[in-house]
Chain A
Amino acid sequence: MAENIFPYKAQKETLPNGLKVIMIPMETPGIVAYYSVVRTGSRDEVEPGKSGFAHFFEHMMFRGTKTYPGAVYDSIVTSIGANANAYTSDDITAFHLNFAKEDLERVIEIESDRFQHLSYAKPAFQTEAGAVYGEYRKSITQPFSLLNEKMQNVAYDVHTYKHTTIGFEADIKAMPEAYDYSKTFFQRFYRPENVVIVICGDIDPATTMAWVKKSYGGWEKGYVAPKVTPEPPQTAERTGDVTYPGKSLPIIDIAYKGDALDPNNRDFVAALLLGDLAFGENSDLYKKLVIQEQKVQFISPSIPPNRDTPLFEIYSMVKTPEDINYVRDEVYKTLESFKTTPVDAARLEGLKKRNKYDFLMGLDTPDHVAGGLARFVAITGDIDVVDQLYKTSDTITAQDVMNAAKKYFVPERRTVVVLKGAK
């Protein structure tokens, strides 16, 4: 039996109301990282006109409760010198604080309070909508924001991955009118069965658990799973173009419908490796296009773990528009070669070694440990998937990589979007 890669012993407990708590004691004197992982992201925005709401709601969670109004919550976080923030993506909303261990009980108190008793008036809700629009405005100047928005819109027909996490601009503009809807969002998703608390660092698990039970024990169940419509299999290639209003080199994004995260799915795990082998920094194509021919600024794969059908993507910024098709065809040629030619065994083992060291070297602070696990927790509800993934990865062969290439990287699963600058 192979060793687990995750080097820490986690203690887990689930409260009667369904709230799971994962505690990971670490030798990090004095410091604790506290993550509240809500297993809801933009994936769960099933109602028309409500794209971006999971992210918006992340903002609203800082508006306070009757016991701790927003300003009071802020002053407590300030008084304990915590490094606190939150983020949202397709499958997750995470709230995190990094602080001194003597403040753990206080943090449990204020975090449990806002997750159970969030309370905000309509003007505050509408004001926060303005801040969200501001976040959209600051980001949309980046070419990749436009490119990803277009790619998701073209690649998906019915699944909520059709929209980005920040949401469609029209929906963001309409957010101030959705006060009543926002209340239902909280009632449906901010429930104990849909939340996992991850606590890492200098903690005593027994004491910590007692505090958690005291503060979260009264949280009522009530999670209502959204009816996310599965994306039907794609049957033909799709294409799209988008014009960036500023000046930008062209970017080509070649995406293939993949499989959801499943550590026992050898095709999926092999695809994770294939992305790097074929298009990573050490790949033949990277060396050809970036270093030798210098036709692109970069080429990079993205094989993400997701709850539902994701896009396995290859991005490249091309130096001249005339070379877009050349680069595209080089990507296709590379994928075809991976279907027919077994990858060199040494390169495969080198990548496995890299992935392990990369993972382990990233576990150097409580915040990095909890933050690194959060997405896996959101997708699966647990952290065991990490060990399972690496165990499967250890057994992946050149034949598995060929199988993954044949399964995923075919024209009928493909969407290609090209961004060009207007100037």
Chain B
Amino acid sequence: MRKTLLFTLAFIAGFSIMAIELLAGRILAPYFGGSVYVWGSIITIFMLALSIGYLLGGRWSLNEPNLKKFGSLFIIATCLMLPIAWMDEPVLNWLSDLIEDPRYGSLTASLVLFSLPTVFLGMISPYAIRLLIEDKEASGQTAGRLYFVSTFGSAIGTLMTSFYLVLWLGIRQIIVLICTLLLFGGLTALVYGLKKGE
């Protein structure tokens, strides 16, 4: 049960990262265009934020790791992601005014809007590995499985968003949907942790 929960949550985190990255292109296009450098900016910031997240998540897992803390990562990521749905317009208007060059404009905009939630989403994988590992011998296998689940989640998140969600819903609604998923995951981990005293 605990294992299933952790893997499901890693899947949700992977799903959300790529779904929001895909939407980022849509959110920036009206202000900085749809050129290759806009995608370059977005991918750079997401990779950077994830790398920092991995580092911080690993570091934090040294500190009495438990499910409650794990769940709180999802809740924090939700709180940082939800405002994007409403903040984007004023922030992007301001930034596209401030920075003439659409390359640095889109880079700064990605940094401001998407880096913080992505750092917290990046913390999830190493933290989950710490909670899953029972013995040293099988640690590689556990890490491999977790990467599998979370990257598979990313693949599904990309596919669902680009093929279907954009056809059914508006960008704002998709962000709310992702946040609901993350919040639900976080609360489940929190409640489960409190119940089991972990």
Same complex for A and B? Answer no
